[in-house]
Every structure is written in C-alpha cells, then in structure tokens.
Structure 1
Amino acid sequence: MTAVQTALTPAATAATSRRTVTQAWLASRGLIVLVALLLAVYQGRSLTDMVDQWDVEHFTNLATNGYLGRPDGTLMAFFPGLPVLLRLGLELGLPVYLTGVVVSAICSYLAATALARLGGPVAAVAWLFAPTAVFTVVPYTEALFCAAAFWAWERARADRWAAAAGLAALACTVRVSGLFLVGALVVLALTLRTPAAPTWRERGRRLRWLLLPVAVLGAFVLYLYSLTGSWTAWYHAQSTGWARTMTPPWDAFWNTVAATVPNADHPLWPPVFTAEIVSMALGVLVVGWCLGRRLWAEASWVAVQVLAFSISYWFMSVNRAILLWFPLWMMVAAWATWRPERTAVRVGHRVVVGLVFLAGVVVMLAWSWLYFTGNWAS
C-alpha cells in the first residue's frame, strides 16, 4: 500500500467530499445570486420582485391566508410543508421571500450532502449546477423536498428505516412526489440486500415503518376533505389551475410538440417546452440505466414520475422534476468519472466532460435569467 493510499482513510475521503460539495454549493448559489444582482442593477428592480415569480405567489398566499385564500380552490394543489415554514417566518417577523430563500439555501446543501453519499461528490456537484438549479435557490419546494427525500433514501439504503420513514413523512408534507417516494421505498424495502440475507419478517418490519409517511398523506387528504367535502380536491385543483387532466401519453406528447412551434406572443415558450421533451427522454434513459444495474427501487422512483408526467395534458414541470431524480445525477457522475484505459480516449473524455459542464453552467445561468425576468421557466 502506498503512502497516498494509506492517507485516503474513510474520514479523509468524507472530508474531501464535504469540501467539494461545500465549494460547489457556494459557487453555484453565488452565480445564481449574481444573475439576480446584475438584473436588479440593470433593470432597476428589487430582489424581492425578482424572487416573487410564479408559484412563489401561491406559497405566499397559502402562508398568509391558508387554503381558502383563493375562491377557485387552486391553492389546494400545493402541499403545506413549505407554506408552514413561511408562516413560521412571518410569525418571527421575517418576510416570506427571506424565509423561503434561507430554507432553500440550507436544504439545497443538505440535499447535496445526501446525494454525495448516494452517488459520490461528482453527483452532488452536477445536481448543484443543474440547468434548473434556480428552483433550489428561490422559495420553491424542490430544495426542501430533495433534502428530505435524498436523506430518506440514504437512510433506507443504510437499513435505518425509522429515520427513513420520518424523513419520507417530512417529504410527504412538501409535494405529491412524496407518494411516489413511498412507493419506491416499498420496492427498496423488498429488494434491499444486507450482509445477512433479509427474511420476510425483516422486510415486513421495513414496510411497517412506511405506514408513517402514508399516514401523513392520508391526513392531508382528510384535511382537504374537511374544507371542501371532496376526496379529490387536490386533483381538481391541479386540473383546474394547471390543465393536469388524464390524457393518453401520445396525446400529451403531441400537445407538447405543438407548444414547441414559434410563438409570437410567447417567444421563449418553445425552447422550454422542447426541454420538457428532452427531460422526459432523460427520465426514460435513467430508468434503463438503473434497470441495467439492477437498481430496481431507483428505477421505480424515476419511472413512476415519468409515467405521471406522460398522462397529463402535456409535459410540464419535468424540467424541474429532474432535480428530484437522484439516479439521474448518479448516472451523470458515473459517466463523468469513467476512466478509459486508452490515453487518447481518456483525454478526449475529459475534454467532453469539461465542455458539457461549462455548457450546463451557461444553461443554468440562462434559466436563472428566465425565472428572474418573469418568463416561463417550467
């Protein structure tokens, strides 16, 4: 064993990983904030105005007025986790936007540290510089959900199901994606191998813990029922406010294709909807990658979301959903850290990885500009 190998103890490796994640977190957050600051100076707008875009208005309304804050009931499309935190900030005298940004900043770091455990520091770096990373900076649910879901998965992979269930329950207060998380954790509970081959009794113990996040989802449904008298209040809000109605996948695809044609009234819509199609294709690719490596639970986690997006009116918000697909970033890390035996191929691969990373940073900055200027950003 060489001196270098001796130095690479688990503690040293973990410290290096944490340092890499911290540096990438600071750099990626800093670049996104820089875009906002430049726009504030150039356009004479306040940072609050730039943060207050799209769903942030709904979360603010929920934090201040509750689920009956809009007569059309569309606020019921959102889960209470983030609005509750924003409300807590208001009770402490903090503006909604400040609380939301702080929550996203902290949770994006926590999510990245969990992802580093699941797929290595390169996976975390790739996630932090994702094209739609702006949604992990502003008061959206992505950072909060990913922090809870990624750590839930990490704990489940470590066969720590009490912690995994508690974290999954937290994720279930944030997004409907928590339902898909529970389903994927069921697959993991049944397929996870440990040094001692798990018995069906052990698998049953794992599954019993998952009743906790199921109970959280059930409590939310009951709460909406108490307000509306409808068991389908959440689905009705989604279909009313965002045209998320049951649609055959082929129709959803062609509806999305129709949105990619040049649009004089909304010239920036076509590239975003084109990216939605690309994101769906990435989801299918990730499912195949996971199946090829017998990562059955990870494959189910992405597959069920791809299916859900494919039966909506069109592919919408998939560009943001890729932030939730931790197997995607594991796949990216596996490709980026591949070391071919031939020197020429290895050098060429490193050049391609560098160019792809730079292109990704450019897209991240462009997407930040889309969001902060109020353009449609998925």
Structure 2
Amino acid sequence: MARVKRLEDDNLRIVQIWLVSRLMLAVIAVSIAIINTRSLESVVAQWDVAHFVAISAQGYADPKEMAFFPGWPLILHALGLTGIPKVLGGTIVALVCSLVAAFALKRIAGPWGAIAWLLAPTAVFTAVPYTESPFCAAAFWAWERATKDKWGQAAVLAALASTLRVSGLFLIGALVILALTQKRGRGQSLAGRLSWLVLPAAVIVVYVTYLYGLTGSWTAWFSAQEAGWQRGFHWPWEALVNHWNTLWTPNLDHPEWPWVFRAELISWIVGLVVTVVALAKRRVAEASWVGVQVLAFSLSYWLMSVNRAVLLWFPLWRLIDDVVSSRPRTRGWMVVGGIIAAAALVIQGVWAWLYFTGRWAS
C-alpha cells in the first residue's frame, strides 16, 4: 500500500508541475500578444514553426527546408485537413506529448528526473509546435520499452521518433549498444533485438532516398543544414574557436545573442560531463546517446541548438534524480528544493520570453 501511495503521489506531483509550468508559459505568450497587439498564433509560431507549416503546405519547395524531417509537417498537415489551425493543433499535440514524455522519464529517470525535465530552462520548446515534445515522447518510451526487453514496441516507437528529427539516427545507435550490453537469458535473443532495429533504420533510409529522388544528391539533408544554418563540417577545435569568438562580441541589435551562445557552451559542457559520469556508472548505452550528440554538435561551424538538445538527454535527468533521491527529506532540503524549483521557473520564463518575442532562443 505504501508503494502504491508513493506512486500516486509521484504521478500527482508530475501532473501538478506540468500544469503550473505550462500555465506559466501560456500566460507569458498571451501577455506578449496583448501588450504588442499581435495574434497569439504569431507569438507562438516563431522560428522553425514557420518552416514546419510551410513544408506541411507545399512540401520541400525550398531545398533548405530539407533539413527538417517530414514527420512533424505531416502531422501538422493532417491536423489542417480536420479544420484545426495547424499552429493551434501542433501546440496542443506538443503539450500532450510533453506530459507523455514526462511519464516515460518517470520510468527511466525517476520522478525527480521527470520534474526536473519539466522545469528545464528551454522547456518552452516542448509547449510550441516544435519536434522536441513528440520526439521525446516517442524516444523516451522507446528506451523504456527496450530496457524491459519489449523490442518490438521499442522499434515502432523509435521508428516514429526517426520520422521527426535526425536525432532518431543517434537513438538507433544507442539502442544497438543497449541491445549488445543488455543481460542475456530470458527474453529475446541478441539477434532478435537487433533485427527489430531494422524498422527505425529503414525510416532514415527511406527519407534519404526520397531526398535523392528530389535532388539527385545522397547528401541533400547535410547540404540543407550547411546552406541554411552554417552546419557544414568543421573540426571540433575550429567549432570551439568560432563559438568562443561569439561569446564576447556585443550585438546592439540582438543583445541576447552572446548570452544564449554562452548557454550553448555550458550545455555542451554538461553533455560532456553526463557522458563521462554515465560511463563511470557503466551506463554505456546512455553515455553513447549523449556522447554522440555532443560530438555531432562539435563538428559544426559553432555550437548551435545544444540548449534544446539538453531536453533529449534523459541520462542527465536520471543523474539529477539520483542526486535528489539520495538527499534526506528534511525541512532544510525541502526549502532548498523549493528555491531551486522557483529559480528554474524564473529562468524558464525568461527563455519563453525570448522565444515568444522572436528573439534568438537557441
């Protein structure tokens, strides 16, 4: 009975944090719309949302938009066919998926890890029509199912995640390592586990082949990244030098840029630390999931969108849960926890303000 009560309390706490944080984001968006006499849709539909909506309407008419995987635009297109405005429908789906992802995190990272994820600085991207929420919902549950040796279910979920963003490729690689390192015995054989992963891999192959049919190039996705976002190949030391130079260059038109780029560097360092700690704890598959992303960001012109990628790093939130769970439930620690949660909401609110006002928010 005590265990059931604890589970119920954890579930209730996660729902409460989800409601409070999403309500705060909604209040910020509505306030900005009212103050600036703008439509709420225009406030929510910033940056990549415009690309997703455009692809949902006219396909890959702009070659640069091939950098975006087709899963999310297809969902927005389907919503549009029902008569639901795409931005509104995408926002609702993202909000629901953020709660679905939080409950998956509760399974693989613990309740405090799920709560920390909901309070993440860049959580605004899980409450707008971006791919973070649906990807995390699919990827986190894929991982949870794989750890329970339910590889058929994991493969279907990983395939869904792979339609949404290139991170699906990294997920497949991490799942391969999980299959190789998972204990043998009862359950599926190694060959059985690996054979299931052909399904999500096929999704990536189909998309690359589709782009080849449109462009005649097998590297169309990479070319789109380079043309639109300066993500051509660079050695890590070149990327770090280029990034370092942006940290101290004032920008009168965009004063937030140096600060956001500093946060990118901090997020990248956090990824390195999580990778090393996960390896030290012999969580090899988890270390590979974060480590390969850290490496990928290091091979670009500079470190970009790392702040958003932190949302995908469930090993980070698991480590946070480890730390919080190991602390005694004394009044002093509860006060400290409350202060940290309040500070997290403030930072989350500032980041939401950056996004909703059209400023660079990673």
TM-score, normalised with respect to structure 1? 0.92
Number of aligned positions between the proteins: 361
CA shift digits 1:301-357 (9 cap, x unpaired):
0000000001100000000000000111111121222226xx9xx666555443332
Q: Which of 227, 240, 249 is 2:214 aligned to? A: 227
Question: Given that residues 256 and 273 in structure 1 are in contact (C-alpha distance below 8 angstroms), is that contact kept between their aligned partners in structure 2?
Answer: yes
CA shift digits 1:175-201 (9 cap, x unpaired):
00000000000000011126x377xx8
| 1:95 paired to 2:82 | no
Q: Which of 334, 337, 356 is 2:322 aligned to? A: 334
Which structure 2 residue ranges, 5 or more long, are not aligned? none
Describe the SS at the equivalent of 2:189. helix
Q: Give the Cα separation in 1 of the matches to 2:183 and 2:2.
A: 27
Q: Give the Cα separation in 1 of the matches to 2:28 and 2:156.
A: 36
| 1:239 paired to 2:237 | no
Q: Give the Cα separation in 2 of the matches to 1:329 and 1:36.
A: 27
Question: Given that residues 263 and 269 in structure 1 are in contact (C-alpha distance below 8 angstroms), is that contact kept between their aligned partners in structure 2?
Answer: yes
Describe the SS at the equivalent of 1:56. helix
Aligned to 2:126: 136
Aligned to 1:158: 148
Q: Give the Cα separation in 1 of the matches to 2:35 and 2:208.
A: 45
Q: Give the Cα separation in 1 of the matches to 2:44 and 2:27.
A: 13
Q: Give the Cα separation in 2 of the matches to 1:312 and 1:349.
A: 41
Describe the SS at the equivalent of 1:259. helix
Aligned to 2:2: 8
Aligned to 2:56: 63
Alignment of 1:1-378 (within 5 A): 7-9=1-3, 11-68=4-61, 70=62, 73-193=63-183, 196=185, 202-261=189-248, 262-339=250-327, 349-378=333-362
Q: Give the Cα separation in 2 of the matches to 1:174 and 1:81.
A: 5
> By how many angstroms is 1:12 displaced?
3.5
Instruction: Tell me which amino acid in the other structure corresponds to 1:368.
Output: A
Question: Given that residues 17 and 120 in structure 1 are in contact (C-alpha distance below 8 angstroms), is that contact kept between their aligned partners in structure 2?
Answer: no
Aligned to 1:3: none
Deviates more, 1:256-265 or 1:324-333: 256-265
Instruction: Tell me which amino acid in the other structure corresponds to 2:67.
Output: A
Q: Give the Cα separation in 1 of the matches to 2:34 and 2:55.
A: 31
CA shift digits 1:221-241 (9 cap, x unpaired):
111111111100000000000
CA RMSD of aligned residues (A): 1.6
> By how many angstroms is 1:40 displaced?
1.8
Q: Give the Cα separation in 2 of the matches to 1:267 and 1:13.
A: 46
Q: Give the Cα separation in 2 of the matches to 1:244 and 1:192.
A: 35
CA 1:141 to 1:15, structure 2 compared with 1: closer, same or farther past 3 Å? same
Which structure 1 residue ranges, 5 or more long, are not aligned? 1-6
Query: Runs of 4 or more off by more than 6 Å in structure 1?
Result: none
Q: Give the Cα separation in 1 of the matches to 2:294 and 2:342.
A: 27
CA shift digits 1:123-180 (9 cap, x unpaired):
1111111100000000000001000000000000000000000000000000000000
CA shift digits 1:19-53 (9 cap, x unpaired):
12211111111111111122122222211110111
> By how many angstroms is 1:358 displaced?
2.1
CA shift digits 1:238-267 (9 cap, x unpaired):
000000011111111121111112222321
